[in-house]
Amino acid sequence: MSQLILRRVGMMILIMLVVALLLFLMNEGDPRLIARSVLGPYAQDQQLDAWIAQHGYDRPIMVRYFDWIGRVLSGDLGDSIIYKRPVNEIFWDRLGNTGILAGVTFVVMVVVALTLGVLAGMKEGSAQDRVISVFSITTTSIPEYASAVLLAWIFVFGLGWLPGTSAMTGGFNVVELILPVMVLTLYGFGYVARMTRASMAEVMTNHYIRTAMLKGLPYRHIIMKHALRNALIAPFTVIMLQINWLLSGVVVTEFAFGYKGFGALLLEAALRRDIFVIEACGLAAVFVAVFTQTIGDLGYTYLNPRIRFK
Amino acid sequence: MSDKKILSRDKRRYLLPSERALGAETHSYLPELCDQLRVRKITRRDFLRQAALLGMTVGAAYATADKLIGGAFTPTVAAATPKPGGTLRVSMRIQEVTDPAIFDWTEKSNVARFLVEHLTRTKADNTTVPYLAKSWEASDDLKSWVFHLRDDVTWSNGDKFTAADVAHTVNRWLDPKTGSSNLGLFAAMVETVKGADGKPLKRGIANAVEVIDDHTIKFNLRQAALAMPENFYNYPAAIVHRGFGKDYEADLSKNPIGTGPMKLEAFAVGERAILKKARDWWAGPFHLDEIHYFDHGEDTNAWIAALASQQVDMVFRLPNNAIETVKRLPFVELHEATTAQTAVMRFRVTEKPFDNVKLRQAIAACMDHKELLDKAFKGLGQIAENHHVCPIHPDYAALPPLKRDVEKAKKLLAEAGYKDGITVEIANGDTEGPWMTDVCAIFKNQLAPAGINLKINKMPANQYWEVWDKAPWGYTAWTHRPLGTMVLGLGYRSGVPWNETAYNNPEFDAALDDAEATLDVNERKKKMAVCEKILQDDAIIPQPFWRSVFKAANKRVKGHQTHPTLYHQFHNVWLEG
């Protein structure tokens, strides 16, 4: 097992380095472009040249790449062009905000998805199954930008129950989280619920479940003790993938509700070519993707002995 | 009775002792101006504006106008008593606020306007009144202007406000290293010389700014200019402290030293700007305790949602597709301002294929302005005439109306060398809203019958602002300015920083100089007609329409008027409940 972990972690580091290189080449390949972004459209050629020399952008690209990696590892992410502040000052706050949104959404979504998935999978083909399936397929098919408008129309403009934006202007306010969490949960839970349902339905056809039923065990006991644990192996990887989606996929939701998170930061940076913010966000997104994938694989191996001992 | 008789009699009559006391003798042209109003050669509005520009106090100008033609146009005091206190919350993009001289977004100036102030103030009704300058006089030839500054103003750091501050600020604008757009606006103080690299360089003329004493400053111009007071209220023209960019870094968000009533309590680009009332204000009571600007991102739906759930009291601007939604909110008031805000499909006349005037004319000939206004903007505005001077500008001259003419376009296209048609591309960033794409799409259909295929290069707004003065053809939004000469001077004079068309026409420059130097309102209109015609004939800016702008505010916000440029002037604003 420890050899497997080492192998996976090594793989993770390699992937990170390759992706970082691509990110670096795309953003910092052309020093003139960087100088132009930093100094603005009115800067003269002489000013650009001076900036390039002063900031070491006249060195070979691979030297600059490893220099950049070194700086990132030591915690220096550079200065934001549009915010006129070190990226570190903005980045971690925004990442933290998205962490809060993603964390709350994750908990709500997993609870809703597993509950509905299990309820649907317990009796495949029943009315209960049909209703849950249709509902989850419907909500998953509505993109976030549409459900954001729809929910705002109902809860903000119609009923007036909820605040329309989530910029947390007066400090953290849990009520402002409701709409974005609702939008993300509606979009995201269907996939996990469907996986859980399929897995549950499969488990329910197994002989040991039939045996347990015939033995006269209480139904609740059978579901909780025998079916559930086995049914959760397959959805586990899917759930881990949701973490990754929650970090990089929340862009639309954050945009719609003015939430000051990582997604909104990345979008703004991309639109205005804020190179060092794009790089920081890119690295963070890739790290989370690779990390959750690794954890997912390891967890799956642990849960499923057939893979573990192969 | 002949006009002549009236004129001679009124010349004697208009200078009553009371008016003399009010300063009606400020400029030698004022008697003439009064005569013109008396015989209705100019409108009351023209008179008020012109008299104020020439240094007459507002009270005197209104009183004189009443005296001459009757009527009760003297401003009345608002009926309700303002209630001090409270926090006004506004949804607006928060951009960096470093150097006011290089501001390029109204939003930046809105945060700065409560910190640093201007010599003059153009009110929501488009008239310009004294502000940090308590009065001014112009020489008869309009080539030298003396501004008398208030002596009761102090900076937030305790320093006295003096002419040294104004001189420092204006000299910074005139220094090409600053990169201020004011270099174009104050062209009468600017000369073109050969730079070190052999290219022409614009810079301030020697002795343009002359400090007479602590509270008097004189501007010496190389040519006559009438709009000096109005130019001083242009949004990059805020007066900064004499140490700004000299003794300390030119960054207002770090060094918010100002003459305004507020201090910058907290500031984060993309998030918030918190302004707090910090001191007694020279201009009288400022009712609000705090102004909070919040950034809700690019999504206009979020702005409206914030207003609907009362997270903010006001939105900076209302996209016109949200008007119907806002009308249904019972506690929200919709504000409309008729403006000279517009967007021009400007060609870069140095770039192929748009260096071909026949091609430009062919494209312009295809435009049906009314259809564009009605379909893309719900008719909420006025049609434009491809010369960037608006009917609400006092110096506007009406030219024969433009008519769409496809046959003429085809002929011009053939003469331009494209008898089999041509494909052209326009860059558009929807910088003022998605209606801009609609305009392009409808114009594409209008161009098609002439054999012109329009490709729309849609890009994010911020990316557009990187290419607005570079793209061969682009759709650029321009904000409202109170005078036609101001816009033309900023955008179309040869070599000025905001000349996005690269238009370089000495004949036009001379005509504009001439118009700017003409005092007589009707004469000036005639001279503006020449400028307008040159721009129209050279077809450098097919310009679909002038648009009304909308803003929405909670009904508890009182005493608020929407400025045509969306500048925030909250002097009389107070909150109820």
Cβ neighbour number for residue A4 with a 10 Å cutoff: 14
DSSP A225: I
Segments forming the whole domain that contains residue B243: 91-258
Amino acid present at A60: P
Q: Is the pLDDT of residue B15 over 90?
A: no
Taking contacts as CB-CB distances below 8 angstroms, the residues of chain B near A169 are 89, 272, 292, 294, 311
Calculate the alpha carbon distances from B169 to B244, B246, B254 in Å: 8, 11, 18
Q: Number of A to B CB contacts under 8 A, please give it.
A: 91
Q: Which of B223, B258, B293 is the last residue of a domain?
A: B258
B296 in a structural domain: no
Nearest chain B CA: its distance from A308 CA (Å): 48
Q: Is the pLDDT of residue B289 over 90?
A: yes
Residues B235-262 have a mean pLDDT of 93
Structure-block tokens of residue A169: 């202007």
Of A152, A163, A271, Cβ closest to residue B462: A271
B120-122 and B332-347 beta bridge pairing = unpaired
CB pair distance less than 8 Å for A268 and B270: yes
Contacts of B298 (CB under 8 A, 6+ apart): A255, A268, A271, B93, B461
CB contact, 8 Å: B295 with chain A? yes
- Torsion angle of alpha carbons B32, B34, B37, B43, nearest 10°? 90
Q: What is the ipTM of this complex?
A: 0.77
Whole-number Å distance between alpha carbons of B509 and B174: 19
Taking contacts as CB-CB distances below 8 angstroms, the residues of chain A near B302 are 164-165, 255-258
B31 in a structural domain: yes
H helix intervals, A45-158 = 45-54, 61-73, 87-122, 127-141, 144-152
* B365 and B405, same domain (yes or no): yes
Residues B295-308 have a mean pLDDT of 89
Of A41, A257, A258, Cβ closest to residue B466: A41
Name residue B130's beta-bridge partners.
Answer: B120
Taking contacts as CB-CB distances below 8 angstroms, the residues of chain A near B325 are 157
* HSE toward the beta carbon, residue A240, CA cutoff 13 A: 18
Instruction: Report which of residues B16 and B306 the model is more confident about.
Output: B306
B129 in a structural domain: yes
Contacts of A220 (CB under 8 A, 6+ apart): none
Contacts of B350 (CB under 8 A, 6+ apart): B502
Nearest chain B CA: its distance from A255 CA (Å): 7
Laid out side by side, the sheet with B144-149 consists of: B133-138, B144-149, B216-220, B209-213
* Structure confidence by residue, pLDDT tens digits, B454-502: 999 999 887 888 888 889 999 999 988 888 988 998 899 988 878 999 9
B532 in a structural domain: yes
Residues B289-316 have a mean pLDDT of 92
CB pair distance less than 8 Å for B306 and A260: no
B288 in a structural domain: no
Whole-number Å distance between alpha carbons of B201 and B492: 17
The number of domains in chain B is 3
B422-428 and B452-458 beta bridge pairing = parallel
**The three-state (H, E, C) secondary structure of A235-293, written as one string:** HHHHHHHHHHHHHHCCHHHHHHHCCCCHHHHHHHHHHCCCHHHHHHHHHHHHHHHHHHH
Q: Which of B258, B285, B306 is the last residue of a domain?
A: B258
* B363 and B445, same domain (yes or no): yes
Q: What percentage of residues in chain B have a pLDDT greater than 70?
A: 93
Name residue B457's beta-bridge partners.
Answer: B427
B263 in a structural domain: no
Residue A4 three-state SS: helix
What does pTM read for this prediction? 0.78
Whole-number Å distance between alpha carbons of A290 and A287: 5
* B47 and B156, same domain (yes or no): no
Instruction: Report which of residues B312 and A48 the model is more confident about.
Output: B312
**What pLDDT does B43 receive?**
79
CB pair distance less than 8 Å for B271 and A268: no
* B170 and B45, same domain (yes or no): no
**What pLDDT does A290 receive?**
87
Q: Which of B206, B235, B258 is the last residue of a domain?
A: B258
**What pLDDT does A45 receive?**
65
Whole-number Å distance between alpha carbons of B164 and B160: 10
Q: Is the pLDDT of residue B368 over 70?
A: yes
* Structure confidence by residue, pLDDT tens digits, B199-244: 677 888 989 999 999 999 999 999 888 889 989 999 999 999 999 9
| Mutation site for B-interface testing, chosen from A34, A147, A165 by largest number of B Cβ within 10 Å | A165
Q: Could you tell me the pLDDT band of residue B109, with boundaries at 50, 70 and 90?
A: very high
Of A163, A167, A256, Cβ closest to residue B294: A167
* B43 and B185, same domain (yes or no): no
B309 in a structural domain: no
Of B269, B306, B325, Cβ closest to residue A84: B269
pLDDT 10s digit of each residue in chain A, 310 long? 678 888 888 888 899 889 889 989 888 888 888 887 777 655 556 667 778 888 888 888 888 888 888 888 888 888 888 887 888 888 888 888 988 998 999 999 989 998 898 888 888 888 988 999 899 899 989 988 899 999 999 998 888 888 888 888 878 888 899 999 999 999 888 888 888 888 888 888 888 888 888 888 888 888 888 888 788 877 877 787 787 778 767 888 998 898 988 888 888 888 878 888 999 988 888 888 888 888 877 877 777 766 655 4
Cβ neighbour number for residue B179 with a 10 Å cutoff: 16
Q: Is the pLDDT of residue B442 over 90?
A: yes
CB pair distance less than 8 Å for A157 and B308: yes
CATH of the domain at B446: 3.10.105.10
Nearest chain B CA: its distance from A29 CA (Å): 19
CB pair distance less than 8 Å for B311 and A149: no
Taking contacts as CB-CB distances below 8 angstroms, the residues of chain A near B466 are 41, 273
* B240 and B380, same domain (yes or no): no
CATH of the domain at B146: 3.90.76.10
Listing DSSP states for A198-213 in one string gives: HHHHHHHTSHHHHHHH
* B193 and B253, same domain (yes or no): yes
Nearest chain A CA: its distance from B389 CA (Å): 27
B571 in a structural domain: no
* B240 and B114, same domain (yes or no): yes
* B456 and B504, same domain (yes or no): yes
| Mutation site for A-interface testing, chosen from B201, B301, B458, B466 by largest number of A Cβ within 10 Å | B301
* B13 and B104, same domain (yes or no): no
Nearest CA to B431 out of A257, A253, A265, A271 is that of: A271
**What pLDDT does A41 receive?**
57
* B536 and B392, same domain (yes or no): yes
Taking contacts as CB-CB distances below 8 angstroms, the residues of chain B near A152 are 301, 305
* B374 and B412, same domain (yes or no): yes
